[in-house]
Structure 1
């Protein structure tokens, strides 16, 4: 299917489509874990121009959230013997005004039906599309539209779609580039404000690693984040702050401990954007030192942010934290042990 392909509708909204038109391997409902595989099939075999890897990652993360319970995405997939996705059918449900053709006030559009070339001509696409339509019908979603290319028109018509009107589409044009052109090279030098809109956007943070006298990490339990339940003392940088200033301020607000420095850097952390946060994240982790039992007892938590202080050996933190958070903690602790600053660039915003 292509974005410029035909627009179709089922022949009889609200009635059964000829689901036996495509006998093939069993399809299953897609889960959030299938999202990246669906995004890759769509990019490679549906879109006129494949997406860059960054957009595949972003698209997959967004789709994972929308495939979760309560989301607006519906998809069916067929698994290949090697564990990858052989085929998929994806639709997005949207609200419409109730009328006889859509009594439930919900309609859908099929955005992708794709099969990897290695698994074509086996009925996989028909099986995935039939399962998707069965699910939409069971949920009383009607009408169902689709973008259809010439190559896939027969599949859709056999599934009950009809029509031949190509959809019209509005894509807001990019603002014209106004800049200085280098007469020798032809390079366009954009105005500072316009160039700033094209560069990567990121949020910064700074935090401190505290351990007890036995080098066991000290962490705080967050009341506001199920995704990152156990955290180092620290937080997001305020405008105009330098990283060490952020670490000192956040530590004072979250624990009552006054840091004086000098700063000792343990790790640089980077994360790609995802469904949890739309920007990249860059941060610094400093060494807060070792706290004795009295200092740990004297920690004063801000109940709006944390409700518990816990001290555990590193292995016992693993089951309490998402994998990427534990990996970051392990890297920071190893940097403290070796004296060599860590570079940790996989603290990505995901769907955990």
Structure 2
């Protein structure tokens, strides 16, 4: 699903109240919705044969007896400016969705010349309202991009862009407008499934006695050739316990506490990695030349250890890795913990 990312100057359709004129789609809109999906959602557009095939599949499902519901905004020239399509399906009932009706928001698309005008929000809001109030759907799911995820969080969804979920109950007759609904108990697994996913890592920042950073050369990661000591946390492991384990496994050295956190580093989900990454970087202190010579590397992970002045590391690693290294060094020097939230995004 696309995000509204580029403002334009095309004439903007609005209703009498100044809102985008959203209306429910019918079977006659199936071809336009299919083309919106092909052009603005899929990474590889459909061939004409596939456009016809999907249009023929969608049209009967957009009738009252079908399982598809869509809301659209028309452009001034009669084409489709934006659309949102949801597919209704049954699920086993649970306390949070007693009717056992769920919907997946399958398509949200806006023509480029109508983006940044609230059209995506308008069609999605209309779709969710209809599904909840008319179709009695209480469980909603969707997949989106990291860029579009904030919109869906504002609408009540939670979770990572790879799977966002929401439970929503229609207002009962006689309820006071604007009153908050009674809280609904959510099963623990359902609640856990709705939380953002993140892979947790720990690192140990070590220097020599002249404050020159120590890095290990990777044998398996050509895109990130130089590493701090550290790695992923095991399930159920405490962060400092993971530091001690990783330090022993990678260098044969015993990490000395007490733990002192220097930086927190966050990375967005990206291609090949559906989860966010969260790194906790601790201060490993200063090692003597004798201690550095005594490090014993694990040959399956690293084949060299180097100590260089901070500036010389810039030419040996990706720019985002060096930005992280700079932030960690500054945190140790100033005593102020660093926060980096752009690592791994490129």
Question: TM-score by structure 1 length?
Answer: 0.52
**3-state SS of the aligned residue for 2:194?**
coil
Partner of 1:316: 312
Q: C-alpha distance in 1, partners of 2:280/2:289?
A: 26
Partner of 2:268: 272
Structure 1: gaps of 5 or more residues? 4-38, 46-109, 115-131, 134-141, 148-162
Task: Please state if 1:178 is matched with 2:178.
Answer: no
User: Is the alpha carbon distance of 1:186 and 1:234 closer, same or farther for their aligned partners in structure 2, counting shifts above 3 Å?
Assistant: same
Structure 2: gaps of 5 or more residues? 9-36, 59-66, 68-86, 98-168, 173-179
Task: Please state if 1:192 is matched with 2:108.
Answer: no
Partner of 2:38: 111
What is the aligned residue count?
210
Partner of 1:104: none
Shift of 1:216: 0.8
Partner of 2:290: 294
User: Is the alpha carbon distance of 1:165 and 1:321 closer, same or farther for their aligned partners in structure 2, counting shifts above 3 Å?
Assistant: closer
Contact 1:177 1:190 in 2 (8 A): no
Contact 1:202 1:279 in 2 (8 A): yes
Contact 1:212 1:291 in 2 (8 A): yes
Q: C-alpha distance in 1, partners of 2:186/2:325?
A: 41
Partner of 2:55: 166
Contact 2:256 2:284 in 1 (8 A): no
Contact 2:197 2:276 in 1 (8 A): yes
Q: 1:327 aligns with which of 323, 330, 340?
A: 323
Partner of 2:77: none
Q: C-alpha distance in 1, partners of 2:54/2:282?
A: 61
User: Is the alpha carbon distance of 1:188 and 1:340 closer, same or farther for their aligned partners in structure 2, counting shifts above 3 Å?
Assistant: same
Contact 1:219 1:310 in 2 (8 A): yes
Question: TM-score by structure 2 length?
Answer: 0.53
**3-state SS of the aligned residue for 2:39?**
strand
Mapping for residues 333-348 of structure 1, pairs under 5 Å: 333-348=329-344
Q: C-alpha distance in 2, partners of 1:112/1:42?
A: 16
Q: C-alpha distance in 1, partners of 2:198/2:342?
A: 15
Shift of 1:178: 2.3
Contact 1:205 1:236 in 2 (8 A): yes
**3-state SS of the aligned residue for 1:274?**
coil
Partner of 1:284: 280
Partner of 1:229: 225
User: Is the alpha carbon distance of 1:41 and 1:145 closer, same or farther for their aligned partners in structure 2, counting shifts above 3 Å?
Assistant: farther
Higher relative contact order (CA 8 A, sep 6+): 1
Task: Please state if 1:256 is matched with 2:256.
Answer: no
- When the two chains are superposed, the root-mean-square deviation of aligned CA atoms in Å is 3.5
Q: C-alpha distance in 2, partners of 1:334/1:324?
A: 15
**Could you report, residue by residue, the CA deviation over 1:184-235 in whole angstroms, capped at 9, with x for unpaired residues?**
7244332111121111011111110000111111000111112221110001
User: Is the alpha carbon distance of 1:219 and 1:144 closer, same or farther for their aligned partners in structure 2, counting shifts above 3 Å?
Assistant: farther
Q: C-alpha distance in 1, partners of 2:54/2:302?
A: 57
Contact 2:206 2:213 in 1 (8 A): yes
User: Is the alpha carbon distance of 1:186 and 1:338 closer, same or farther for their aligned partners in structure 2, counting shifts above 3 Å?
Assistant: same
Q: C-alpha distance in 1, partners of 2:310/2:93?
A: 53
Shift of 1:43: 9.9
Q: C-alpha distance in 1, partners of 2:91/2:329?
A: 48
Contact 1:234 1:247 in 2 (8 A): yes
